Amino acid sequence: MFSKGKSFSVYPIKVLYDFIDDPTCTLQAGVTVSSRNFKKAVDRNRVKRVLREAYRLQKLPLQNFLKEQKKSLAVFFIYTGKELPVFAEVLKKLEVVLQKLTENLFKKLH
């Protein structure tokens, strides 16, 4: 995914995505946080937890779109901010990210 996938950024989240050949799963997601920006594992784990929860709450429209198109997608979220995020802000940003991702996929498929 890192070499041939597409990417875009909506600060503080960078998104990498690519279609995969896996008929059993329509959507796979991963999350990472740089240890350069967050030295303590406790802080990195908190950021990842917040990102995962925001994604879980908002993934349904993207999942439905992929099912309609009969496609499978791998998505990777990279948190690039330098401060600990507030859940409400991450929720808003991830909503924008998922809308942009759906628009990009729609353009690519049609």
Residue with the bigger pLDDT between 49 and 22: it is 49
Tell me the per-residue pLDDT of 40-90, one tens digit each, with 9 for 90 and over: 999 999 999 999 999 999 999 999 999 999 999 999 999 999 999 999 999
pLDDT at 1: 65
pLDDT at 50: 98
Cα distances (Å, whole numbers) of residue 88 to 50, 57, 62, 92: 9, 12, 20, 6
Q: Which CATH architecture has domain 6-109?
A: 2-Layer Sandwich (3.30)
Residue ranges per structural domain of the chain: 6-109
For the whole prediction, is pTM greater than 0.75? yes
d(CA 70, CA 23): 9
Cα distances (Å, whole numbers) of residue 108 to 5, 36, 95: 13, 34, 20
